[in-house]
Amino acid sequence: MYAASKYVEGDISAGDDLVGGNVWKSTDNGATWTDLGSPNRPATSLEMSSTGKLFAGYGAEEDTANNKRGLYKYNGTAWFNMSGSTGHKLKGKLIQDLEYISTSTGGSILLAVTGETGQGGLYASYDEGSTFKKIGKGLPTQFWGTAVIDDPSSARGVYVAHSRPAAKGKVYKCVPATTASGTGKCYLYYTGLKDETFNSLLFDGLVTGSNLGVYDYKSFLTNFKLKKKKLAEQTEAGMNQYKPTAHLTDKVSRNALNGRIVKLYKKKKKNGTYRYAGKTKVKRGKAVFIVKQSARNNWYQVQYKPNNSNDKETYGKRKNKSNTIKVPKSS
């Protein structure tokens, strides 16, 4: 168990601030703590890599000195300044939060969120913190990051909190590129209430800690609209065939939710009851069915209900229903 601490002392208006902090370790569930001998810097965040390296982010708004900010790595015996070299993207940056994520291709990314006007951003490292690049196309130009958290669902992404200027807090959902050559994209997920600013994020389903309290959020599905297309090929009995198609994507990122099971329902009267008529997997963002014309009108609808733990956390447990389409009876 590890903990980061920081302190700010002195009269800020007089310019005699004293800032510092430490990184601590406990091996008895928090009963006692040992100072790991980290640099006397204001520690803001900690993150452990898959190889057992501990990363610490540093910085305080009250002290802009480069040597009081940036990223350090601990290998179990010593600390290394990862952002001290000239040209490093995190040199002098006020690091607010760190997050280590696994990619869909088996790789890993260390993410850093920085704050301060004109210097805030979302940064990604694909080489265990040696180098970083600024990512997050779609974030505001005056982005002031405060927190980042991984979404472990198969719709891979992270949530990033932005809390400046004051009273204009927002949460973005970002999808980092899986390799260093990509850029990734960010989409506005939630706009805070009046005077709401976000301090922390965690994922058990998205949960935010703000100056107004602790809140749980659920995302939504979009484009879950059923459309029909008449096929040129008829059945042996001369009946027309139709292809009901529904799109299933995430409302924020627009990512296709491939692999999910979508069910088709049918009713024989406009005011009748739907009966199960088949199921299919979403491929390339679409759930496609083939239905045959009959001697009477039929109405169809598709439904999707999250059925794995990750989707339930992200989208909730409710059943999502499409619009209704009518397949006319044969003439």
Contacts of 202 (CB under 8 A, 6+ apart): 149, 209
Amino acid 204: pLDDT? 66
Rg (the chain; Cα; Å): 26
**Is 309 buried (19+), middle (13-18) or exposed (0-12) by CB count in 10 A?**
exposed
Six-digit token string for 22: 């430490």
- Rounded to an integer, what distance in angstroms lies between the CA atom of residue 99 and that of residue 147? 9
Amino acid 1: pLDDT? 87
Domain layout of the chain by residue ranges: 2-217, 221-327
29-33: average pLDDT: 89
- Rounded to an integer, what distance in angstroms lies between the CA atom of residue 207 and that of residue 65? 33
Q: Select, from the ranges 113-117, 149-153, 181-185, 235-239, the one with the highest average predicted confidence (pLDDT).
A: 113-117
Segment 225-265, tens digit of pLDDT: 778 787 766 666 667 888 888 888 877 667 788 899 999 99
Contact (CB, 8 A) for 126 and 179: yes
- Is pLDDT of 44 > 80? yes
295-301: average pLDDT: 89
Q: What's 2-217's CATH class?
A: mainly beta
Q: What is the DSSP string of 184-196?
A: -EEEEEEEPPTT-
For residue 163, give the amino acid letter: S
Cα 188 to chain centroid, rounded: 11
- Rounded to an integer, what distance in angstroms lies between the CA atom of residue 204 and that of residue 217? 10
Amino acid 167: pLDDT? 63
What residues form DSSP beta bridges with 301? 265
- Is pLDDT of 312 > 60? yes
Give the chain's mean pLDDT.
82
Amino acid 15: pLDDT? 56
- Rounded to an integer, what distance in angstroms lies between the CA atom of residue 73 and that of residue 79? 6
Amino acid 293: pLDDT? 83
pLDDT band at 110 (very low <50, low <70, confident <90, very high): very high
**Is 156 buried (19+), middle (13-18) or exposed (0-12) by CB count in 10 A?**
middle
302-319: average pLDDT: 81
Amino acid 108: pLDDT? 86
Amino acid 219: pLDDT? 63
If we measure between CA atoms, which residue out of 9, 33, 6, 31 comes closest to residue 20?
6
Asked which of 146-160, 168-182, 220-234, 311-325 is least confident by mean pLDDT, the reply is: 220-234
Amino acid 152: pLDDT? 74
- Is pLDDT of 12 > 70? no
Segment 45-76, tens digit of pLDDT: 999 888 888 999 988 887 777 778 889 999 88
Let me know the angle formed at the C-alpha of 180 by 119 and 122, rounded to the nearest 5 degrees.
25
- Rounded to an integer, what distance in angstroms lies between the CA atom of residue 225 and that of residue 58? 47
- Rounded to an integer, what distance in angstroms lies between the CA atom of residue 285 and that of residue 299? 23
Please give the CATH topology (third level) of the domain spanning 221-327.
Answer: Immunoglobulin-like (2.60.40)
Amino acid 140: pLDDT? 87
Amino acid 89: pLDDT? 92
- Rounded to an integer, what distance in angstroms lies between the CA atom of residue 30 and that of residue 3? 10
Amino acid 236: pLDDT? 60
Amino acid 119: pLDDT? 80
Asked which of 64-68, 106-110, 142-146, 158-162 is least confident by mean pLDDT, the reply is: 64-68
Let me know the angle formed at the C-alpha of 313 by 310 and 317, rounded to the nearest 5 degrees.
105
What residues form DSSP beta bridges with 124? 111, 133
| This prediction's pTM | 0.70
- Is pLDDT of 93 > 80? yes
310-315: average pLDDT: 75
- Is pLDDT of 112 > 90? yes
- Rounded to an integer, what distance in angstroms lies between the CA atom of residue 49 and that of residue 44? 17
